[in-house]
Amino acid sequence: PMTYHKPVLLDESIDALVLNPDGVYVDATLGGGGHAKAILKRLSNKGKLYAFDTDPDAALQNEIDDERFTLIPQNFRYIKRFLRLHQVKKVNGILADLGVSSHQFDSGERGFSTRLEARLDMRMNVNASISAYEVVNDYKEEKLADIFFSYADLRRAKAMARSIVEKRLTDRIETTFDLKTALYRYLPPGKENKVLAQVFQAIRIEVNDEIEVLKEFLSQTEALLLKGGRLCVISYHSLEDRLVKRFIRNGLFEGEPQRDVYGNFEVPFKKVGNFITPSDEEIATNTRARSAKLRIGEKL
């Protein structure tokens, strides 16, 4: 289906990113390859694009046959190390789309989708040691509640965690549907899927260590970007968006930067415009764009 290759905020992100057609660019999250193909269209034959993807399925399916393109099948938390292995020290632009690729949602056996029954997994890298099964069956009640609250803003996080722990006393929670059953009383009619999507999101973030990954990635962008180079990040929930916003504003994830005796502080980026959200038309054709926000920073 077309929807799979319909990247979110495509024109907006590529317009902001590719200022020099001869430049070197990084797509930190290849996914379906939609952003990458659009970047290549804007590059001259001198331009180069390096793309990261930690999911071997997605990476293999979306390899692009173009001599300007290099696929690096690694997590983008290691961006600097693997670019250096390719003799790349500085780049003109870095794009990261923090959404789960629709390919992962649509291949039911990976357990990302609330609609399809599957074993609880949710690992983006299928070789990772911890899956959703361990989180749901082995984490203590407090830790589950904390994950639901921090990573998905779930108001009834504590009650939901308790419900899971109670269900575990009789049976292991093996599948996505078992998890649904354990939470049924917190899934209001007509809103089941919305609430479940939040629960799945929280577990997925935990399984894939997404918040730490994002921080490690962002921290390396400053040294990689040339002066005037662009960092473009598309995020889908408030926790990620806050980190991106703060990082672009002052290079930190929390607290305020150190000021000199004159009260000035140095920041690595200049914020470019305000954040950008998808148009109503885009949301109508791609519901996953609903919560997307694009933020752009320019390296000073």
Instruction: Tell me the per-residue pLDDT of 61-95, one tens digit each, with 9 for 90 and over.
Output: 778 999 999 999 999 999 999 999 999 999 999 99
Per the confidence metrics, is the pTM higher than 0.85?
yes
pLDDT at 258: 82
pLDDT at 105: 52
Q: What pLDDT shows up at residue 237?
A: 86
**C-alpha span between 241 and 89 (Å, rounded):** 27
What crossing angle do the helices spanning 210-224 and 238-250 adopt, rounded to 10°?
20
Sign of CA dihedral 209, 210, 215, 218: positive
Which position has the token pair 């020099």? 20
Q: Which two tokens stand for residue 152?
A: 């998905």
The stretches in the chain having pLDDT less than 70 are 1-5, 58-59, 100-112, 114-116
Residue position matching structure tokens 């952003």: 35
Alpha helices in 23-140 (DSSP H): 34-42, 56-61, 79-85, 102-106, 132-138
Which tokens is 156 given? 């009834």
